[in-house]
Structure 1
Amino acid sequence: MAEAYPWQDSLWQQMAGRAQHAHAYLLHGPAGIGKRALAERLMARLLCQRPVGLDACGQCKSCMLLAAGSHPDNYVLEPEEADKGIKVDQVRDLVSFIVQTAQLGGRKVVLVEPVEAMNINAANALLKSLEEPSGNTVLLLVSHQPSRLLPTVKSRCVQQACPLPSEEMSLRWLEQALPECALEERLELLALAAGSPLMAVSLHAQGVREQRALVVEGVKKLIKQQQSPTQLAESAWKDIPLLLLFDWFCDWSHLILRYQLTQDEEGLGLSDMRKVVQYLAQKSSQDKVLAMQDWVLAQRQKVMSKANLNRVLLLEALLVQWAGLPGQG
């Protein structure tokens, strides 16, 4: 059974309690808030032969087959490799499943995650099934970045925003999930995860606080000309996920610009880069910061779209820009 998260209680009652279900739902929201678990829980409920209240019974033939990963009326579509796209051939296989008759005589339920991993051809191949799925089929689409989806995909689904829990609720949950961490550490992890508690747990597992400290130290040495862009790009940061790096630099460029406009020290976020942000805000022209921010956002989009990028050259280009920020030229 998929885990039930406390911040999803009201949403679960709303969705699982429907007398009739739409043929396609788009569950969207930030990464790390439990959308996949919500979809799996709903999938189990829709396939269950003897539901108990709003939940699947966990004991009927359908539930047992689902738990074993061999339910004939269930289909999960996701990238074949981590951080890769969903291919058009995969979608065609899914369409073939959708047109079949349910083998257990009930519903067929499809889970697609993340939907934005489909390229245009793959998304177009799914459109007809989204509009008119065969038989009693329900498609559950999970998206972390709904802005990247084709309007034609979104328009064929009931769009359901999934809530980001409050800081208080997240911290209560993290106290149970990460009992080894002090409150200060949990607060920092939650801030690094942009408020997503499951992402905070994932970041903790990959040692994100140590990675962040390494990056902050490198940026400070870069600005002091104690370390070159090439040195940092080629060795010091080689094990840090590219998207994580671009998330941080995107956030820092935003903070520099914000401080230039407001001089508001309260809005400078985590204290580890406060002095660097203030220094660069004071020593850099606003035009240069804006141009750099545009570039960072464009490259981050390429990273998110799984473009085939040369990691070292991309990081070196980023760091050259940052090293060149101070000064009015």
Structure 2
Amino acid sequence: MAEAYPWQDSLWQQLAGRAQHAHAYLLHGPAGIGKRALAERLMASLLCQRPTPQGACGECKSCLLLKAGSHPDNYILEPEEADKAIKVDQVRDLVSFVVQTAQLGGRKVVLIEPVESMNINAANALLKSLEEPSGDTVLLLVSHQPSRLLPTIKSRCVQQACPLPGEAMSLDWLATALPDCSPQERIELLTLAAGSPLAAVNLNAQGVREQRAQVVDGVKKLLKQQQSPTQLAEGWNAIPLLLLFDWFCDWSSLILRYQLTQDEEGLGLTDMRKVIQYLAQKTAQDKVLNIQDWILAQRQKVLSKANLNRVLLLEALLVQWATLPAQR
């Protein structure tokens, strides 16, 4: 059974309580808030022969087959390799499944995640099934970045936003999920995860606080000319590229915010506050805007899985960052 998260209670009641289900749902929202678990819970309930208000019964033939991974009327479509595209041939196999008759005499349920990983040909191949799925078929599409989807995909689905849980609820849940972390460490992890509690757990597992400390130390040494961009770029090889661009994007935003407001409470996590304040005082605003535009453009390339030279890209970032604190 998929885990039921406390921040999904009202959303679950809204979805599961429908008298008649749509043929396609688009569950969208930030990564790390449990959208896949919500989709799996709904999938199990839709397939269950004796569903309850809480979800699938877990005991009927359909539930047992689903638990065993051998349900004939269930289809999960995802990339064959992590961070790769869903290919058109995969979608064609899915279309063949959709046109078949349900073997257990009930619904067929399809789960696609993440739907934005479909390439253009795959997305177009899915359109017919989305518009007119045969029989009693429900398609559950999970998206972390709905802005990347074709309008024709979105228009054929009931769009269901899955919002971030509140900070208090997230921290309460993290207290149970990460009992070995201190309250302050859990706050830092949640901040680094942009408020997504499941992402905070994943970041903790990959050692994000240690990675962050390494990067912050490197940035300080870069500004003091104690380390070169090349040395840092090569030394950060084990740190996810998207994470690095997220941090530098955040830091450039905090510099601009401080330049505009002089609000010392809005300087972000304590590890970079003095650096942010220093750069805000020493850097022309148009220079910060220019590097932020560049960072955002490169971050989008990273998101779209472009074939990038990692070291050269980080060197370019750090060379620009090192030149920020020039007299205005």
Q: Which residue in the other structure is 1:177 paired with?
A: 177
Q: CA deviation at 1:52?
A: 2.6
Output the amino acid matched with 2:110: V
Q: Which residue in the other structure is 1:28 paired with?
A: 28
**Pairs within 5 Å for 1:236-315:** 236-315=235-314
> Matched residue pairs, number?
328
Q: CA deviation at 1:307?
A: 1.2
Q: Which residue in the other structure is 1:105 paired with?
A: 105
Q: Which residue in the other structure is 1:323 paired with?
A: 322
- Are 2:135 and 1:135 equivalent residues in the alignment? yes
Residue 163 of structure 2 aligns to a residue in which SS? coil
Retained in 2: the 8 A contact 1:75–1:94? yes
Retained in 2: the 8 A contact 1:95–1:126? yes
Q: Counterparts of 1:158 and 1:45 in 2: how far apart (Å)? A: 18
**Pairs within 5 Å for 1:51-130:** 51-130=51-130
Q: Which residue in the other structure is 2:15 paired with?
A: 15
Residue 140 of structure 1 aligns to a residue in which SS? strand
Q: Which residue in the other structure is 1:167 paired with?
A: 167
Q: CA deviation at 1:147?
A: 1.0
Q: CA deviation at 1:163?
A: 2.2
Q: CA deviation at 1:327?
A: 1.3
Q: CA deviation at 1:92?
A: 1.2
Output the amino acid matched with 1:161: A
Q: Counterparts of 1:228 and 1:88 in 2: how far apart (Å)? A: 44
Q: Which residue in the other structure is 1:219 paired with?
A: 219
Retained in 1: the 8 A contact 2:16–2:53? no
- CA deviation digits over 1:171-214, x for unaligned, max 9? 11111111111111111111111111101100000010000000
Output the amino acid matched with 2:64: M
Retained in 2: the 8 A contact 1:77–1:111? yes
Output the amino acid matched with 1:48: C
Q: CA deviation at 1:54?
A: 3.8
Q: Counterparts of 2:287 and 2:116 in 1: how far apart (Å)? A: 32
Q: CA deviation at 1:93?
A: 1.1
Q: Counterparts of 2:310 and 2:93 in 1: how far apart (Å)? A: 33
Q: CA deviation at 1:328?
A: 5.0
Residue 75 of structure 1 aligns to a residue in which SS? strand
Q: Counterparts of 2:53 and 2:216 in 1: how far apart (Å)? A: 50
Q: Counterparts of 1:231 and 1:122 in 2: how far apart (Å)? A: 41
Q: CA deviation at 1:53?
A: 3.1
- Taking every aligned residue pair, what percent have the same amino acid on both sides? 85
Retained in 2: the 8 A contact 1:85–1:306? no
Q: CA deviation at 1:282?
A: 1.2
**Pairs within 5 Å for 1:183-202:** 183-202=183-202
Output the amino acid matched with 1:154: K
User: Which has the larger displacement, 19-28 or 87-96?
Assistant: 87-96
Q: CA deviation at 1:276?
A: 0.9
- CA deviation digits over 1:104-152, x for unaligned, max 9? 1111100011111112221111111111111111000001111111111
Q: CA deviation at 1:239?
A: 0.6
Q: CA deviation at 1:81?
A: 0.9
Residue 309 of structure 1 aligns to a residue in which SS? coil
Residue 140 of structure 2 aligns to a residue in which SS? strand
Q: Counterparts of 1:258 and 1:302 in 2: how far apart (Å)? A: 25
Retained in 1: the 8 A contact 2:216–2:271? yes
Output the amino acid matched with 1:89: D
Output the amino acid matched with 2:161: A
Which runs of 4 or more aligned residues in structure 1 lie more than 4 Å from their structure 2 counterparts after TM superposition? none
Q: Counterparts of 1:259 and 1:92 in 2: how far apart (Å)? A: 52
Q: Counterparts of 1:222 and 1:98 in 2: how far apart (Å)? A: 56
Q: Counterparts of 1:57 and 1:285 in 2: how far apart (Å)? A: 62
Q: CA deviation at 1:228?
A: 0.6
Q: Counterparts of 2:308 and 2:129 in 1: how far apart (Å)? A: 33
Q: Counterparts of 1:71 and 1:118 in 2: how far apart (Å)? A: 24
- CA deviation digits over 1:236-271, x for unaligned, max 9? 211111111111011001111111111111111111
Q: What stretches of structure 2 of length at least 5 have no aligned partner?
A: none
Q: Counterparts of 2:298 and 2:178 in 1: how far apart (Å)? A: 33
Retained in 2: the 8 A contact 1:17–1:54? no
After TM superposition, the score normalised by the length of structure 1 is 0.98
Output the amino acid matched with 1:252: W
Q: Counterparts of 1:190 and 1:2 in 2: how far apart (Å)? A: 23
Q: Counterparts of 1:97 and 1:317 in 2: how far apart (Å)? A: 48
Residue 159 of structure 1 aligns to a residue in which SS? strand
